[in-house]
A and B are shown apart, each in its own frame.
Chain A
Amino acid sequence: MSLGTQTRTTGQKADAALATPYLPLAPRRPFPYEYAILAVIVVAAAALPFILPAAEMAIAVRVLVFALMGIGWNIMSGFGGMFSFGHAAYFGIGAYTAGFMLVEFGVSPWIGLIVGMIVAVIAAVGISYLALRYKLEGAYYAMSTFAFAEMLRLFVSGNDALHRTVGFTVPVLPEASFGMFQFDAGSPMYFWIGLVMVGIALLMSIVFLRSRTGRFTLAARDNEMAASALGINVLRYKLTAVALSAAITASAGVLYLQFYMFIDPDLGFGAHVSNNAIITTVVGGAGTIWGPLVGAVIMAPLSDVVASFLRNPPDQLAFLAGHGGLDLLLYAVILIAFVILLPKGIYGTIWNKVKRK
Chain B
Amino acid sequence: MSLLEVRGFSKSFRGLKALRDVDLSVDEGTILGIIGANGAGKTTLFNCITGAFPPDSGTVTLDGRDVTGVATHRLAKLGMVRTFQLMRPFHSMTVLENVTVAALSHGARSDRAARAEAAVAIAKTGLTEWSGNESGQLPAAVQKRLELARALAMRPRVLLLDEVLAGLVPAERMPVLELLETLRAEEGVTMIFIEHIMAAVRRLSDSVVMMDQGAVLASGQVDAVLADPLVIEAYLGKEYTNA
Contacts and interface: CB of A to CB of B under 8 A. Distances in A.
Interface of A: 4, 7-8, 10-11, 13-15, 17-23, 25-29, 212, 215-216, 218-219, 221-223, 225-234, 287
B128 interface: yes
B185 A11 contact: yes
B92 A29 contact: no
Contacts of B118: 26
Nearest to A23: B119
Contacts of B101: 215-216, 219, 227, 230, 232
A223 B73 contact: no
B90 A231 contact: no
Contacts of A225: 52, 72, 84, 88
A233 B93 contact: no
A231 B76 contact: yes
A229 B92 contact: no
Nearest to A210: B111
Contacts of A25: 116
Nearest to B175: A17
Interface centre among B71, B73, B184 (most CB of A within 10 A): B73
Interface centre among B76, B96, B184 (most CB of A within 10 A): B76
Contacts of B104: 212, 215-216
The A contact surface, by secondary structure, is: helix
Contacts of A14: 175, 178-179, 181-182
A251 B74 CA distance: 35
Contacts of B74: 231
B154 A287 contact: no
B196 to A, nearest CB: 22
14 contacts: A7-B181, A11-B178, A18-B123, A19-B126, A28-B115, A29-B111, A29-B112, A227-B101, A228-B72, A229-B76, A230-B154, A231-B73, A231-B105, A234-B73
B124 interface: yes
B175 A233 contact: no
A59 to B, nearest CB: 34
Contacts of A222: 89-93
A29 B120 CA distance: 16
Interface residues of B, number: 54
A24 B50 CA distance: 35
B102 interface: yes
A17 B73 CA distance: 33
A4 B185 contact: yes
A18 B182 contact: no
Interface centre among A27, A222, A223, A231 (most CB of B within 10 A): A231
Interface string B125-155: 1111101000000000000000000110010
Contacts of B126: 18-20
Interface in B43-93: 50, 52, 71-74, 76-77, 81-84, 88-93
B174 interface: yes
Nearest to A14: B178
A29 B77 CA distance: 26
The 3 closest A-B pairs by CB, nearest first: A14-B178, A231-B76, A26-B116
Interface centre among B72, B112, B184 (most CB of A within 10 A): B72
A22 B120 contact: yes
A223 B88 contact: yes
Interface centre among A21, A212, A216, A287 (most CB of B within 10 A): A212
B178 A218 contact: no
A27 B95 CA distance: 12
Contacts of B223: none
B233 interface: no
A75 B23 CA distance: 45
B89 A226 contact: yes
B106 interface: yes
B85 to A, nearest CB: 11
Interface string B145-178: 0000011001000000000000000000011001
B168 to A, nearest CB: 14
Nearest to A223: B88
B73 A228 contact: yes
Interface in B167-223: 174-175, 178-179, 181-182, 184-186
A287 B90 CA distance: 14
Nearest to B125: A18
A226 B178 contact: no
Contacts of B72: 225, 228-229
A245 to B, nearest CB: 18
Given A7-B184, A232-B105, A287 B92 contact: yes
Contacts of A27: 96, 115, 119, 131
A356 B106 CA distance: 32
A135 to B, nearest CB: 12
Contacts of B112: 26, 28-29
Contacts of B175: 14, 17-18
A63 B86 CA distance: 44
Interface centre among A4, A10, A15, A226 (most CB of B within 10 A): A226
B119 to A, nearest CB: 5
